[in-house]
Chains A and B, each alone.
Chain A
Amino acid sequence: MHMADALLSPAVAGTMYIASGTAAAFSVLSLKKDEEPQKLPAMAVTAALVFSGQMINYTIPGTGSSGHLCGGMLLSAILGPQAGFLSMIVVLAIQCLFFADGGLMALGANIWNMAFYGCFIGYYLVWRPIIRSKLFGSGRAAMRARIIAASIIGCVLTLQMGAFSVVLETCLSGIADLPFGAFAALMQPIHLAIGLVEGLITSAVLCFVYESRPELLRDVMDAGEAAPKGGKSLRTTVAVLAAAALVIGGGLSLLASSHPDGLEWALFGNEDAGYAANMGLDEESFGVDSKAAEAAGNIQKATAILPDYSFSNSESPAGTSVSGLVGSVMVAVAAIMISMAGGFFRKRKAARVREYSDKEGGPDERVIR
């Protein structure tokens, strides 16, 4: 789900940076208020753990494929949402710099899509309410069921939101011709499956932590359910909850993928299908009949960073395109020549160093270089 720089326009990337930056500033400030220094090493180590944990393949029984770990939920369950968010930022930034997973300018969007939803929405809307509730009754098995439910629902929900944001950001950037609805219909179901598996893995890890060191999960401790010994049927609970999450997530995904289409349809009508142009709205002139809207439109035209994509309609002189092509070939030749010149000079330098070391019996080439 990592966005690449190429998919975003500068305006969208900048907006996402501002949004993620605000959330990060809030997290830093709220961490400063409480025990920040003690938490720092724990944050770093768990971030490193999530980073390397994502490399592990978990086989999904019955299929040939494998799943990965969902970082945001795990981190915010153990560290709390603010610290978890900062740790996720670090994970994403290192992935982007050293593994080219995502892009430097797309980082803001990636932080929002993966860390913000996973940590804040996942924690405040799913994890904490479920853990503190009296769902499934009381006792150890119930708490375990709550952990599993919270992880699965949290992962599915936040991944759906993340995937939806990817679609939204791409379409707002105006890079892809893929229609919004079709792109969403492509992304949501894929991420439903991914979210489900990630939720199961996250819940397995969190259950293990709950069994062995419940004091690490502070909300579980707050809920006053220290783990007494005994109890089982983990497998049944997992199965039941997986089915439940599938149903809930499926509904959500359907809603998310069909809704935009529905919205568009409702606004602009579908005359081909025999309906009248709904509400008398016309797609071209939609929303620009008032003077104020016109003025706003003009301002937007003046400040738009995105170029106006009317190339194919405008009189595009074929000559310009061909000369562009020829020019590009020349650029490619220039690039190759720069590379060859670089190689030539490096070889010559290496030869000189070798000569020197042969003559003087000096240190070998590797040391000098």
Chain B
Amino acid sequence: MDKTRNALNEFGMMDEFAAGDSPIHRLNATAKLLCTVSYILVVMSFGKYSLSALSVMILWPVLLFQLSGIPMGACFYKLRMILPLVMAVGLFNPFFDRGIMLTLWGIGISGGVVSMLTLMLKGILCLMASFLLAATTPFDSICASLSKLHVPGTLVTLFLLTYRYIGVLGRELAIMSDAYHLRAPGQKGIHVSAWGSFLGQLLLRSMDRAQELYSSMLLRGYHKHFHYAPTRPFRWKDFFFLFSGISFFLLFRMVDVASILGSLFVSVR
């Protein structure tokens, strides 16, 4: 097995990354969240064929990866989740859009190929940005900054509790499926006769657990909202990070830096 264990490991890995220490880890969570969102928005807004202009955007996440010391390989492993749909959609572009955009050494490159590559690059860039956010910011801090951004308390508390319980239930489920597979060797998944009872058992136990959890919350003085430990305050450094980030994105969005750089070396007619 198994997917459950793998997921738990991935979860643990992200936690470990987020617990590290680097200039990026030390930034305020709200600043990082806003910066990530604006980065993704800018990347999304690039045109269908602006592959070269978009390529400059890779510098920002690469820089942050290096500053934070998070290995980039861990991020690319996650590409397997988003790439299928992006590929499914993008792979058709070369078939529908055959206008030749560029001829290189006698090989014509069609608009469809360019737009497909742009689509994939966009997917990778957005993934890198959100991975960086999750890998350099503990989940509590993200939740605290969400509640600072006026996301309803119910939702934020739900986030925290769910995050906590995914580990607990995941481990329990991993044990259950180990036990099941030991008794049903050579079987790929859960047999149809156990479809209901397998998850149903856990569901029933979970509901009891939720009741106990609520009782213990009350006993510890829970009164409709959680109190967060003070997070890192929003300092000048954070403002500078956010400001420089957004101005870089806007600059790269408006000016095709790659083409300008390239035109220094390529003489245009």
Using a CB–CB cutoff of 8 Å, the interface residues on chain A facing chain B are: 1-10, 13, 24-25, 28, 31-32, 36-38, 40-49, 51-53, 55-61, 64, 66, 69, 78, 86-87, 89-91, 93-94, 96-105, 166, 170, 174-179, 182-183, 186, 200-201, 204-209, 212-213, 216, 305-307, 309, 311-313, 316-332, 334-335, 338-339, 341-343, 346, 369
Interface residues in B, total, Cβ within 8 A: 124
Residues of B within 8 A of A332 (CB): 55, 58
Inter-chain contact A324/B262, CB cutoff 8 Å: yes
B120 contact from A6, A69, A325, Cβ within 8 A: A6
Q: List 20 A-B contacts (CB under 8 A).
A: A2-B81, A4-B85, A4-B86, A9-B45, A10-B45, A52-B166, A56-B3, A56-B198, A66-B189, A305-B45, A307-B45, A307-B50, A311-B47, A325-B104, A326-B262, A326-B265, A326-B266, A327-B258, A341-B66, A342-B67
Q: Is B214 an interface residue (CB 8 A)?
A: yes
Q: Is B203 an interface residue (CB 8 A)?
A: yes
B82 contact from A57, A89, A101, A330, Cβ within 8 A: A101
**Complex alpha-carbon distance, A343 and B4, angstroms:** 33
Residues of A within 8 A of B82 (CB): 2, 4, 6, 100-103
Rounded to whole Å, the gap between the CB of B136 and the closest CB of chain A is 12
Residue of A nearest to B14 (CB): A98
**Apart from the given pairs A41-B214, A105-B37, A213-B207, 11 other A-B contacts in the complex at a CB distance below 8 Å:** A5-B43, A32-B154, A41-B161, A48-B206, A104-B36, A205-B199, A209-B200, A320-B259, A324-B259, A327-B52, A341-B66
**Complex alpha-carbon distance, A53 and B3, angstroms:** 10
Q: Is B27 an interface residue (CB 8 A)?
A: no
Inter-chain contact A28/B197, CB cutoff 8 Å: no
Inter-chain contact B86/A6, CB cutoff 8 Å: yes
Rounded to whole Å, the gap between the CB of A127 and the closest CB of chain B is 17
**Complex alpha-carbon distance, A177 and B122, angstroms:** 16
Rounded to whole Å, the gap between the CB of B110 and the closest CB of chain A is 9
Residue of B nearest to A13 (CB): B44
B101 contact from A183, A186, A316, Cβ within 8 A: A316
0/1 string, B122-157, CB within 8 A of A gives 1: 110011011101100000001000000000101101
Residues of B within 8 A of A49 (CB): 169, 199, 202-203, 206
**Complex alpha-carbon distance, A59 and B168, angstroms:** 25
Known: A100-B81, A205-B195. A174 touches B173 (CB 8 A): no
Inter-chain contact B199/A93, CB cutoff 8 Å: no
**Complex alpha-carbon distance, A331 and B75, angstroms:** 20
Known: A28-B155, A47-B158, A342-B65. A37 touches B224 (CB 8 A): yes
Inter-chain contact A176/B93, CB cutoff 8 Å: yes
**Complex alpha-carbon distance, A61 and B194, angstroms:** 12
Inter-chain contact B119/A97, CB cutoff 8 Å: no
Inter-chain contact B268/A323, CB cutoff 8 Å: yes
Q: Is the interface of B mostly helix, strand, loop or mixed?
A: helix
Q: Is B246 an interface residue (CB 8 A)?
A: no
Residues of A within 8 A of B159 (CB): 90, 93-94
Residue of A nearest to B120 (CB): A6
Residue of A nearest to B168 (CB): A48
B40 contact from A86, A87, A103, Cβ within 8 A: A103
Task: Give the contacts of B81-115 with A (CB-CB under 8 A).
Answer: 81-82, 85-86, 88-90, 92-93, 95-97, 99, 101-104, 111-112, 115
Residues of A within 8 A of B85 (CB): 1-4, 7, 166
**Complex alpha-carbon distance, A305 and B198, angstroms:** 49
Residues of A within 8 A of B63 (CB): 338
B96 contact from A61, A91, A177, Cβ within 8 A: A177
Inter-chain contact A42/B3, CB cutoff 8 Å: no
Residue of B nearest to A25 (CB): B152
Inter-chain contact B36/A307, CB cutoff 8 Å: no
Rounded to whole Å, the gap between the CB of A360 and the closest CB of chain B is 21
Inter-chain contact A204/B127, CB cutoff 8 Å: no
Question: By CB atoms of chain A within 10 A, which of B11, B63, B66, B89 has the most?
Answer: B89
Inter-chain contact B188/A57, CB cutoff 8 Å: yes
0/1 string, B241-269, CB within 8 A of A gives 1: 00000000000000011111111011111
**Complex alpha-carbon distance, A87 and B213, angstroms:** 17
Inter-chain contact B189/A44, CB cutoff 8 Å: no
Residues of A within 8 A of B142 (CB): 97
Inter-chain contact A339/B130, CB cutoff 8 Å: no
0/1 string, B206-226, CB within 8 A of A gives 1: 110111011001000010100
Q: Is B231 an interface residue (CB 8 A)?
A: no
Inter-chain contact A31/B97, CB cutoff 8 Å: no
Residue of A nearest to B160 (CB): A44
Residue of A nearest to B103 (CB): A318
Residue of B nearest to A31 (CB): B154
Inter-chain contact B130/A103, CB cutoff 8 Å: yes
Known: A10-B45, A99-B78, A328-B258. A28 touches B102 (CB 8 A): no
Inter-chain contact A5/B49, CB cutoff 8 Å: no
